[in-house]
Amino acid sequence: MIRRAKDIDELTPWREMTLGGEIYEPATSQYVNTGAWRTNTPVLDTEKCRHCLLCVPFCPDSSLPVKDGRLVGIDYYHCKGCGICAEVCPFGALSVKEGGEP
Amino acid sequence: MERTYHFKHTLEKKERFAPGHRLCAGCGAGIAVRGVLRALKEEDRAVVGNATGCLEVSSFLYPYTAYEDSYIHTAFESAGASLSGVEAAYNALKRKGKVEGTVKFITFGGDGGTYDIGFQSLSGAMERGHDLTYVCYDNEAYMNTGIQRSSSTPRFASATTSPVGTAVPGKGQNKKNLTDIIAAHNVPYVAQTTFIGNFRDLYTKAKKAIYTPGPSFLNVMAPCPRGWEYPTEKLPEICRLAVETCVWPLFEVENGIWRLSYAPKKKLPVEDYLKMQGRFRHMFKPGNEWMIEAVQQSVDENWDKLLNRCNTNL
Amino acid sequence: MNYNERLSGNEAIAFAMKQIDPDVMAAFPITPSTEIPQYFAQYVADGEVNTEFVPVESEHSSMSACIGAEAAGARAVTATSSCGLALMYEMMYVAASSRLPITLACVNRALTGPININNDHSDSMGIRDAGWIQIYAENNQEAYDNFLQAMPIGEHPDVRLPVMICQDGFITSHALENITLLDTDSVKAFVGEYTPENYLLKKENPLAIGPYDLGCHYMEHKVQQAEAMKNAKARILEVAAEFEKVTGRKYGLFEAYQMEDADLALVLIGSSAGTAKAAVDRLRKEGVRAGLIKLRVFRPFPAEELAEALRHVKALAILDKAESFSAHGGPLFSEVRAALYDLEPRPRTVGYVYGLGGRDVTPDHFRSVYDRLARIAAGGDLGPVYTHMGQRE
């Protein structure tokens, strides 16, 4: 029985892996906790945020989710803490603190 | 085709490049891919190609694909040819009624896989007229294998195969002008862009590239914090300076008409751009002023040439 | 319905492609396979096929484009020889490991150094480890028939491997022979439609191919590929049986010619088998129990079947039309000898490398081989196990 992507890991036997490295599901990378990489963490001040969304396209990790024209938060499961968003924010609503904890 | 750019509306579209990929924190390639794919219409599917490189090893590391769409990677030098095959298959199968809906073909390659090893297959794809878009995320060296020089590496930049030493000050040759070369293939649309402001430049160019029938080429400057040696969060400033110093002009060539996208009101000296990056730090040693002068001269010459080309179309 | 025609090997392959009407052909010219894309391009120009013809700028790109097309859900074909195949080397591995049943017509020509345009098997032998199914032809009829069987073999879900259909450059590719063709409707019925479960253009779900495999996954993907190659053997025989029902022509993993009671035998590949059969016939008239095996399928290698067929032979010569510079024998020699290892008793075996760069081989050459085998069978010395035949000393 061939497993779904999120159930394939370094212990999966060859008969249960997809053939030739194919994957038949979209965006399976979402299961990877790249947020664990962080050594610095961005913090969103929702009072200051004007939802200009200028930070959103600058995030290499698609970790600034937008809904109905508003920035709804930071995807800490994936955010790597690069700090570009804080640099770009014209309103000082994003700042970077030390440490990986959100 | 949208006539006005509704920035916020573009961000309402479903994200096509998912998080969880293994690109470095602050990688320009990730920003480029998101930006280009955002220009797709929501109802259209895409087949995304990759040449071997940073983006490829990071965005589909088995079993984790970062793409919502179909994706194909074959080898380092074959992005142009592989996607040509996909596009040809689409045409054949569509004629047979075997494919529903519209599918667009977009392949990404680093400067390694585009300017150098992949040059031939890119040229072939452009020449044959396939309806596809080739996007180069140009980080100016073979970054994935550890920052070796490519033909895209700027003059004097330090790279591991063009390092700065007592006898040789970094890369000796000027950066190859690939956007010019592809424009000379007389394809319908070619453009140079990067990450500025609300991404209007990148978005509108990506949209034109994807939806203009025939081959298109986008050259996106995608800074690499590790290879260019700048503090990771400074990427937007690096891009801004690249444009304001005219090191990386923003322009497009649409059906042979050269059009400047942006002319800085006040052209900044190249030093402002160079001094932010460790790969150029040796240029600021006393006695090396000639290097900065040489770069300034080269930038000025290329800028004048570009202005002439754009102005002759008016 | 069979009907007769007179075609060269290249014409026959191009015609087979036309009858199949693949979705994409991406090809680059190289002697002696050039005629295949040329004939096919004319079919395209005359609107006789639905194929997208992609005139790529190199063979590396022809295989890359075929990979893209096949992954997209289309049937992709190409043709090449010699250095063209060598230039595709990297991509051949990608095609096989991506499990894409591309079909390639290989018109065998010697690999360069020095450059030579004549036939030998160094090109397809050089790439034998890439994971492609490799099927060889003795003549134009076999080339045509093998090409028709390629897709049903490669496309089967238990296989999903690319297939290389080989024929000898100039000797078969450019020689006119009377051959029997199958009518186009029957061809189309025989090959059926290509219906992959997942493909890049599929609407219901996307497909991602060509991942980066960490060390914890690569070996498992290769074991899967190895299993597929094992499965290919049974599938090749299944397809051959179906082909026989439709055309009356019978194929197997190899042809055993006068082997039932043979004391002395040869194993070889390709058109030289025709010449060797003439030598066998002459020897049989003289009362010598000579036979030969013409190997059709080299990959997967039919080790057990060959061992069974050669079990009773007293002295055997394995002839390679390619060097592998092992300093010990050619590629076919190594694999056949290994297949015989567990037999008790096993044939006494020697190897020859012959025919390089199109060097002619005659019935007299084969006769001298059989004469040596006769001496070996009678208890004589084996002599040097690895020699060349046909060169000027």
pLDDT tens, B188-208? Answer: 999 999 999 999 999 999 999
pLDDT above 60: residue C355: yes
- Whether residue A53 is found in the same domain as residue A68: yes
State the pLDDT confidence band at C8, using cuts at 50, 70 and 90: very high
My answer on whether A9 and A43 are in the same domain is no
Separation between Cα atoms, residue C128 and residue C320, nearest integer Å: 14
pLDDT for the residue B311: 87
- Domain check: are A59 and A19 in the same one? no
Residues A37, A24: one domain? no
Residues of B whose CB is below 8 A from A76: none
CB pairs under 8 A between A and B: 129
pLDDT at B87 over 70: yes
Mutate to test the interface with C, among B98, B106, B131, B145 (most CBs of C within 10 A): B98
Which of A23, A34, A88 has its CB closest to that of B20? A34
Angle between helix C9-20 and C35-45 (nearest 10): 40
**pLDDT value at C14 more than 60:** yes
- Average pLDDT (C347-369) is 98
User: Are A43 and A58 found together in one domain?
Assistant: yes
Q: Is the pLDDT of residue B259 over 90?
A: yes
pLDDT in tens, chain A (102 residues): 889 999 999 999 999 999 999 999 999 999 999 999 999 999 999 999 999 999 999 999 999 999 999 999 999 999 999 999 999 999 999 999 999 999
Per-residue pLDDT for B3 more than 90? no
What DSSP element (H or E) covers C164?
strand C163-168
pLDDT tens per residue, range C97-135: 999 999 999 999 999 999 999 999 999 999 999 999 999
| B89 → closest Cβ in C24, C60, C62 | C24
Residues A47 and A25 in one domain: no
Contact criterion met (CB < 8 Å) for A63 and B34: no
Which residues 6+ apart lie within 8 Å of C166 measured at CB? C106, C107, C108, C121, C124, C134, C135, C136, C137, C270
Name the minimum distance, in Å, from the CA of B173 to any CA of chain A: 31
Q: What is the pLDDT of residues C260-269, one digit of tens each?
A: 999 999 999 9
Interchain CB distance below 8 Å, A23 and B62: yes
**What is the percentage of chain C residues whose pLDDT exceeds 90?**
100
Q: What's the whole-number average pLDDT of chain C?
A: 98
Task: Give the domains, in start order, of chain C with CATH numbers.
Answer: 2-247 (3.40.50.970), 254-389 (3.40.50.920)
Asked if residues B18 and A29 have their Cβ atoms less than 8 Å apart, the reply is yes
A touches which chains (3+ CB pairs under 8 A)? B, C
B8 at the C interface (CB within 8 A)? no
Instruction: Provide the CB-side half-sphere exposure for C55 (13 A, CA).
Output: 11
Q: What is the pLDDT of residue A27?
A: 98
The pair phi, psi for residue B76, each rounded to 5°, is -75, -45
Which residue bears the tokens 């978005």? Answer: B203
Task: Find, among C330, C309, C196, the residue nearest to C254 by Cα.
Answer: C309
What integer is the mean pLDDT of B135-155?
A: 98
Domain shared by A26 and A39, yes or no = no
Nearest to C319 by CA among C278, C358, C282, C361: C361
Give residue B73's pLDDT: 98
Domains of chain B: 7-309 (3.40.50.970)
ipTM over 0.95: yes
Q: Which subunits count as partners of chain C given 3+ CB pairs below 8 Å? A: A, B
Please state the pTM of the whole predicted model.
0.97
Distance CA B75, CA C92 (A): 11
Nearest CA in chain B to A30: B20
As given in the structure block, the two tokens for residue C280 are 């066998």
Structure confidence at residue B2 as a pLDDT band (50, 70, 90) = low
User: Residues C104, C79: contact at Cβ < 8 Å?
Assistant: yes
Residues on chain C bordering chain A, Cβ-to-Cβ distance under 8 angstroms = 97-99, 160, 198, 205-211, 213-214, 216-217, 219-221, 223-225
Strands C290-295 and C254-257: what pairing?
A: antiparallel
Q: Same domain, yes or no, for A50 and A4?
A: no
Mean pLDDT for the stretch of residues C319-325: 97
Considering chain C, what percentage of its residues have pLDDT values greater than 70?
100
A39 and A27 assigned to the same domain: no
> Which helix (H) or strand (E) is C136 found in, with range?
strand C133-136
Answer yes or no: do A84 and B35 touch at CB < 8 A: no
Give dist(CA C331, CA C125) in Å, integer.
7
C-alpha span between C77 and C282 (Å, rounded): 41
Task: Tell me the residue range of the domain where A50 lies.
Answer: 33-102
pLDDT at B313: 65
Do A40 and A51 belong together in one domain?
yes
Encoded amino acid at C4, one letter: N
Q: Are residues A26 and A48 both part of a single domain?
A: no
Please, which pLDDT band fits residue C313 given cuts at 50, 70 and 90? very high
Of A10, A13, A21, the CB nearest to C221: A21
Q: What distance in Å separates the CA atoms of residue C305 and residue C296, rounded to the nearest whole number?
A: 12
Report how many domains make up chain A: 2
Q: Do A13 and C220 touch (CB under 8 A)?
A: yes
Residue B314 has pLDDT above 60, yes or no: no
| Mean of pLDDT values over C17-41 | 98
Residue B4 is predicted with a pLDDT of 85
- In chain A, residues 51-90 whose CB comes closer than 8 Å to chain B: 53-54, 56-63, 66, 68-69, 75, 77-84, 86-88
Residue A13 and residue A39 in one domain: no
Is C205 in contact with A13 (Cβ distance < 8 A)? no
The whole-angstrom separation of Cα A42 and Cα A93 is 10
Work out the mean pLDDT of chain B and round it to a whole number: 97
Pairing of strands C103-108, C76-80: parallel
Q: What is the pairing mode between strands C208-209 and C177-182?
A: unpaired
Mean pLDDT, residues C12-39: 98
Q: What is the CATH number of the domain that holds A42?
A: 3.30.70.20
Neighbours of chain B (3+ CB pairs under 8 A): A, C
Interface subset of B 99-118, CB within 8 angstroms of C:
99-101, 103
The whole-number average pLDDT for the span C224-243 is 98
Name the pLDDT band for C183 (thresholds 50, 70, 90).
very high
